[in-house]
Amino acid sequence: MKKVDLKQIFELVFRQCVFIIVNIYALSKIFGGQFYMKGKLPIEVASTTLEEASSFSLAWTFMGHSYSYILFVGITQLIGAWFLLWNKKKLLGVLILIPIMINIIIFDIIFLDVYPALVNAIIVFLMLLLILFFNKEKIIEVIQGLTNFPIKSKVLIKRRLITFGITLLVIVLIFTFDSFIEQWLGASKEKILE
């Protein structure tokens, strides 16, 4: 008789639970059911001044103001959730969903006083972490492959230092140019306003 692999069963259950929960939230975003959409504010929210508005009302109105942003988040959630269904793509799905869930958790803690949504986001996040934990060998292998650079000679070290120096110089030049353009555009904007 074959031994039952509980780790595999739990991982599959977590993947399916996250898939269902994330799809519900993603589709509610895409179809306009999660935030106060522009032009469809509840009367009590629309008649409240910014100073009197609750954190929840401000956050929900702000998030609902841009359908393009909502669409981006919803589609990204759907992509991550659907990747969980395929064994070879599941870790990519987890890596897509973890930053989204961290953002949702932080957003809920800072702006919202709706604790069931926060608890739900934390549970989804924990299931994603458990999926990673169940695949720790693969993740360790990938991390080692990405970070295990053999240093064979002093010439190689010297070449890396030169490359690092040139890269750093280019980054400084790009940021300097960017700051100059921002200042120049900002200064020309001020002249127009005067």
Mean pLDDT (the chain, rounded): 83
Is the Cβ–Cβ distance between 91 and 135 less than 8 Å? Answer: yes
Nearest to 29 by CA among 79, 58, 55, 64: 64
Q: Give the tens place of pLDDT for each residue, 128-139.
A: 999 999 998 888
pLDDT exceeds cutoff 80 at 87 = yes
Is the Cβ–Cβ distance between 23 and 78 less than 8 Å? Answer: yes
Q: Which amino acid is at 149?
A: F
110-135: b (≥16 Cβ within 10 Å) or e: ebbeeeebbebbeebbebbebbbebb
> Mind spelling out the 3-state secondary structure of 22-60?
HHHHHHHHHCCCCCCCCCCCCHHHHCCCCCCCCHHHHHH
Q: Hey, where are the domains in the chain?
A: 6-147, 150-194
The confidence score (pLDDT) of residue 149 equals 57
* pTM score of the predicted model: 0.69
Average pLDDT over residues 23-52: 79
pLDDT exceeds cutoff 80 at 76 = yes
The confidence score (pLDDT) of residue 89 equals 93
pLDDT band for position 86 (cuts 50, 70, 90)? very high
The confidence score (pLDDT) of residue 171 equals 92
